[in-house]
Amino acid sequence: MQPKRYAIVDLETTGGRASRHKIIEVGIVLHDGQQVLDTYSSLVNPECYVPYGITQLTGITQEMVQDAPKFYEVARKIVEMTEGAIFVAHNVRFDYSFLREEFKRLGYTYSRRNLCTVRLSRKAFPGLPSYSLGNLIKWMGWKADARHRALDDALATAELLRRILAEEDNQKQVVDMVNLGIKESLLPKSFDMEKMHALPEECGVYYLHNAQGEVVYVGKSINIKKRIAEHFADKTEKAGKLQRHVHDISYEITGSELVALLLESHEIKRLHPPINRAQRVRRFPYLVHTFTDEAGYICYEATQANAARRKTLQVISEYPKFAHARNHLNRVREALELCARLCKLQPGNSGPCFHYHIKQCYGACAEQESVEDYNERAMAAREVLSTVFEEDFFLLDQGREPGELAVILVKNGNYQGFGYLDEEGLNGSMDNLRDAITPYAGNPETTRLIQRYLNKKPHLKRIPVQTEAVEW
């Protein structure tokens, strides 16, 4: 059964960033899925300059908005027209985020179930070269004389929605999209769909709280709303725990996926949430270290060592359990065809290892392979095993909004913390980068997180710490 009312919204704005730009026109079409019930439109005084490019696109000039009502004067009408309706827009994230931000400035939390006609059109009309509203208007053969004016674009979006809803299969898609694939019966009793739709579709860390406000689970996602919806849509044992115990949700937007990974790891260790299992370990008493034997061969060993002994060893990596250290070393040994005896994975200090007899070792243990040939592979193993960086650097990733950068610091071989910096503040001295960093404790897990992320995104900008001046 399809929802009874849709509030189809289109906004014209001074730019593309909800946190910095303002609304200059609002258009709303109230629709029942078959016909228009009501409409509303108004210019809005943004209390700021309307850029020339926006005037060229929309036809809205500074003179047109200077005597228009300010947002707080139209806010009540927007609330009334959209209350109890599904909030619909073509690229709903854009329009919804602008309204949420404007209401936030007024001290009001604006929350509505929402539906994106871009996503819906992709499912209803697969294979089109573009799903922009302009292209869909042309493809449908509609007449639209006043594009990029709020009410006219809202009316075009309403007609698009009507045509989509005319097909019964599409009605089911709409219900599923509006409910994020969740059966409301699976939601925690204190959490409704309105709260779900208030969650951001952005990258960050989220916290699930019980009725006492305690954090029971910490997670990260590149789309917080989608990931939490998946938790509540699943029927796994873990999902069942969340559905029973979660009372509220909080979150922190990070922008950078790497920052989200690092912050999630830190928060799990700090809060020790009962439903989290991974990354709760705080101690790493086991290690892999390296040394050179009397014949000149590079050797490795997995062992336990206290603080005093560690000072005498060339530590390569650290682990919470001995099995983790030994298994990691063995996997690297197999991949690079190293000698099990020289990796201290087989007993004895002399003579051929077992793998030599079955022709899975080139014979360094029996001095049948040259030191040079063996050590070339052994040096490669160090890079794979290492949880220590050989250089100090700042790593730059995307920030929480356009024009902002996430900054991650690696120093003295380990992760040191992260922060944020405007791109404009990057050009200049190294002090700007240092001042942006909030300290966080590093550990072998955070090093591996950074290493894996760099393997996935090798072109991220690195700035050596010793650099005197930074250019961007």
Domain extents in the chain: 6-178, 184-271, 286-385, 393-470
pLDDT of residue 341: 92
Helix (H, G, I), strand (E, B) or coil at 422: strand
- Rounded to 10°, the helix 150-165/117-124 angle is 40
Torsion of CA 311, 316, 322, 324, to 10 degrees: 160
Match domain 6-178 to its CATH number in 3.30.420.10, 3.30.450.40, 3.90.1150.10, 3.40.50.2300.
3.30.420.10
pLDDT of residue 1: 45
Q: Do domains 6-178 and 184-271 have the same CATH topology?
A: no
pLDDT of residue 469: 52
pLDDT of residue 154: 94
Burial letters for 367-403: b for 16+ Cβ neighbours within 10 Å, e otherwise? eebebeebbebbeebbeebbbbbeeebbbbbbbbeee
pLDDT of residue 145: 57
Rounded to whole angstroms, how far apart are CA atoms 249 and 147?
39
Positions marked active-site: 148
Kindly give, in sequence order, each residue whose CB lies less than 8 Å from that of residue 332, ignoring residues fewer than 6 positions away.
338, 381, 384, 385
| Residues of the chain where predicted confidence (pLDDT) is lower than 70 | 1-3, 143-147, 179-186, 192, 279-282, 427-429, 467-472
> Was domain 184-271 assigned CATH 2.60.40.1930?
no
Q: Which DSSP symbol is given to 286?
A: E
User: Phi and psi at residue 416, in whole multiples of 5°?
Assistant: -115, -20
pLDDT of residue 238: 74
pLDDT of residue 137: 84
